[in-house]
Amino acid sequence: MTILCLHGSYGSASVQLAPFIDAMEKSSRVKFRWIDGSHRAVPPPGFENYFGQPPLYRFVAFDGVKALDDVLSRIRELPQGITPEDTIRSLVKEQQPYSPRTLQSALDRLFQIMDEDPEIDGILGYSEGATVAATLILEESRRLQEEGRPRRIKYGIFFAGWPPVRLQGDHIQALLADEAENAIDVPTCHVIGCKDPYIHGAMALYSMCDEDTALLFDHGKGHTVPRDARTIRELAEAVETTWQRFMAGENRPGQRRILLLTNVERGEANIFLATCHALLHREPNIELHFATFKGLEESITSVWETARLNLPQVKPIVFHQIKGLSMADGLRHFFANRESEIPLEDDYLPKSFLKPLRLSSTKRAIHDSIPIFVPYEGPRLAEIFSSIVDIIKKVEADLVVVDTLMTAALTACYHLGIKFICLSPNAIKEFAAPLQPRAASLWKYPTTPVDLLRNRPADLKILVSTLPELDFPSILPSHVFPCGPILRNSTPISEANPSLAAWLSRGPTVYVNLGSLCRIAEDRAVELAASLKIAFEAAAGEPGFHKLQVLWKLKKLGKYNTAAGSRIYEVLGREIENDRVRIVNWVEAEPIAILQSGHVMCSIHHGGANSYNEAIVAGVPHVVLPQWTDCYDYAQRVELLGIGRLGNRTTKPQWSVKELSCELCEVLLGRCSETMRQKAKDLANVCRARGNGAENAARIILHECEGNKPEVPLSLGLQSLNEC
């Protein structure tokens, strides 16, 4: 193990860190290799006696005296922002004291040194050296992704320092944690001084590192290197911890084995696929096993292949097929044998689900919904249960991650008494109702089949695909961990479907997608088309909306078409001919990619958890047409948060032209429309600030594997935002 050591600006190997290295080498098995910067440097006026005896060096040359003077002047009077990132933005502004050419030259030299010394596996830097070191780590990551060059630097030690930078063509960009997505993902030790006038620079660097493996050591002094024996001894222990974290990652391939158990239906399976992707990226050595029913094999393989593009060392995800009928097939079989008891609408859903909401129809719908959660008779349930038990015993995972709606899997985990954690596409409310004050679960929140988890094991954790800011105001139980919306990674629309991206860019777009399960009969489709027609007419005279267009993903119930001569064409024929309305049964792009195109002004959806979360993350207002059970909850959340409207308040689960067109026009053009758009963007920013939901879930799952207590420092405050 050899650490490449980089001194600070106006320094040298013999001036700045020698006392620390001398002490470390006496007690450590690690070798330190010092190099001097390649550019001789003369301290500016006022700093002649600050840096020590010459010769002094820099790693990156400044391009011009004026640029250097400007930066030093601002450093002398470093502006203190609210956050370290604000401070750095104020310091850097648009100034580039050195060019991409000089930075690239410095990085090329370091790569050459590493190529010549195969023992180098870590890096240490002080001040400017820390910035160059952090930049080198990220450049290694980029070269791995784009060129397949293996990474050499496995850990970093930073004394003071500033955030890393990135080459952007002919521009150099300072990377800040509240703007950049690519964090430093190797174990790091950050040595700071609480009295350092430039501590914001060091903390901005710390924030760019993986919070699980970044260690912060405060020596209590200023912009200096500790020299007293006690501090150096304590610092040596901190650095040793960083090495141990590196070694633990190197020496445990295959030790952590996780089994994921989920239904095959997309509403549940998608969050497991997204979490798989995050787990592979967070810990490439992990061994993942994925158990579900037949039909998800290609998607599972795709997750691995996508991860392998950036991390060639990741292992394939092992697929285990669960024997028996899937949830959807079980329902079809169940209903087919009980048609006299539960009448169906065209072999689709119980008729009670599609009737207007009244006490009698609601009671009937509750009765008819019970099979959805346990859609099997005894022998079929026993077959699935036995298959899952066999898989669990075969895999011998360190941790099992279970779908909260998969009764057979939950039963198997309870029966075997194994260590497991739950992952749910649902929100906090479903798991928090029993803890609400004033017996709110009896009147404020309806009982759901997930309440079977009231008898959960004492240490069971439930990860949910939401945030407190996106849910009803409630007490958050200690066993429920809001991760943020868990969505699958998607290819940008410009790459996934360039022609559709070009079409979307022509004008503001309404995106209609009522989910994978909701099929629409022709009469209802015509009502929706007529509502869209009224929106077109209302938008014609509005600035910025005269080019309004609609992308409608339509799943039909029954046989009908939308071509010339059809009832829908009679309503929207002119818009279809002018290519302002596209009605399709399939889109070669993920919904989130369409919503994040920047051109969608409203998402009309059925109130499913994924549809809600996709619009939330994209910052797009909603019009919700709830169809069943939890869809009504998400419609209420939309209005509570002030980010859209319920489109069928008086006719749900049906809709009428008069009501839907009114609500759609309100979201697009009404007096509150701009407020809704701003609130939707604000919530998207909240999600961005809290971090990717799948990555948060992966972090908690890995913590649970190690028996650690996960920390989710989320704000629990939530207020109604429906006032304009």
Lowest model confidence (mean pLDDT) among 223-237, 291-305, 554-568: 223-237
Structural domains in the chain, CATH included, are: 2-251 (3.40.50.1820), 257-325+376-482 (3.40.50.2000), 496-687 (3.40.50.2000)
Lowest model confidence (mean pLDDT) among 36-45, 157-166, 315-324: 36-45
Contact 271/690 with Cβ under 8 angstroms?
Answer: no
pLDDT computed for residue 670 by the predictor: 96
pLDDT computed for residue 79 by the predictor: 61
pLDDT computed for residue 721 by the predictor: 30
CA 718 to CA 468: how far, in whole Å? 7
Percent over 90 (pLDDT), the chain: 45
**Directed axis angle between helix 65-76 and helix 84-92, to 10°?**
150
The residue-averaged pLDDT of 212-228 equals 81
Q: What is the pLDDT of residues 558-583, one digit of tens each?
A: 999 999 999 999 999 999 999 999 99
Cα–Cα distance list, 425 to 99, 245, 435 (Å): 47, 32, 20
pLDDT computed for residue 710 by the predictor: 45
pLDDT computed for residue 95 by the predictor: 58
Lowest model confidence (mean pLDDT) among 12-21, 265-274, 594-603, 653-662: 12-21
Given a cut of 70, whether residue 354 has pLDDT beyond it is yes
- Please tell me what DSSP assigns to residue 411: H
pLDDT computed for residue 119 by the predictor: 86
pTM of the model: 0.64
Using pLDDT thresholds of 50, 70 and 90, give the confidence band for residue 366. confident
Beta strands in 305-410 (DSSP E): 318-321, 344-345, 349-350, 399-403
Contact 663/623 with Cβ under 8 angstroms?
Answer: yes
The residue-averaged pLDDT of 455-460 equals 75
Contacts of 220 (CB under 8 A, 6+ apart): 193, 194, 195, 231
Contact 125/79 with Cβ under 8 angstroms?
Answer: no
The average confidence (pLDDT) of the chain is 83
The residue-averaged pLDDT of 648-669 equals 95
Choose the most confident range, by mean pLDDT, from 166-170, 190-194, 258-262, 469-473.
Answer: 258-262
CA 196 to CA 388: how far, in whole Å? 57
Give SS3 for 22.
helix
Q: How would you label 3-31 residue by residue, b for 16+ Cβ within 10 Å and e otherwise? A: bbbbbbbbbbbebbbbebbebbeeebebe
In degrees and rounded to multiples of 5, residue 540 shows phi and psi of -55, -35
- Please tell me what DSSP assigns to residue 43: P
Q: Which residues are the active-site residues?
A: 127
Using pLDDT thresholds of 50, 70 and 90, give the confidence band for residue 448. very low
Using pLDDT thresholds of 50, 70 and 90, give the confidence band for residue 403. very high
Give SS3 for 80.
coil
Q: Which two tokens stand for residue 2?
A: 């050899």
Given a cut of 70, whether residue 31 has pLDDT beyond it is yes
> Closest by alpha carbon to 466, among 458, 453, 476?
476
Given a cut of 50, whether residue 441 has pLDDT beyond it is no
Contact 545/539 with Cβ under 8 angstroms?
Answer: yes
Using pLDDT thresholds of 50, 70 and 90, give the confidence band for residue 588. confident
Using pLDDT thresholds of 50, 70 and 90, give the confidence band for residue 284. confident
Q: What is the pLDDT of residues 493-525, one digit of tens each?
A: 999 999 999 999 999 999 999 988 888 999 999
Question: What does the chain come to in residues?
Answer: 724
CA 135 to CA 158: how far, in whole Å? 12
Given a cut of 90, whether residue 113 has pLDDT beyond it is yes
- Three-state secondary structure along 532-565? HHHHHHHHCCCCCCCCCEEEEECCECCCCCCCCC
- Three-state secondary structure along 657-701? HHHHHHHHHHHHHCCCHHHHHHHHHHHHHHHHHHCCHHHHHHHHH
pLDDT computed for residue 481 by the predictor: 93
pLDDT computed for residue 355 by the predictor: 76
Given a cut of 60, whether residue 69 has pLDDT beyond it is no
Contact 132/109 with Cβ under 8 angstroms?
Answer: no
Percent over 70 (pLDDT), the chain: 83
Q: What is the pLDDT of residues 120-144, one digit of tens each?
A: 989 999 888 999 999 999 999 888 8
Contact 478/460 with Cβ under 8 angstroms?
Answer: no
Contact 472/551 with Cβ under 8 angstroms?
Answer: no
pLDDT computed for residue 348 by the predictor: 62
- Please tell me what DSSP assigns to residue 11: B
261: left (phi over 0), alpha (psi -120 to 50) or beta: beta
Contact 631/518 with Cβ under 8 angstroms?
Answer: no
Given a cut of 80, whether residue 225 has pLDDT beyond it is no
The residue-averaged pLDDT of 268-287 equals 92
Chain centroid offset of residue 148 CA = 25
CA 126 to CA 144: how far, in whole Å? 26
Lowest model confidence (mean pLDDT) among 25-34, 543-552, 674-683: 25-34
Lowest model confidence (mean pLDDT) among 227-241, 318-332, 652-666: 227-241
- Please tell me what DSSP assigns to residue 318: E
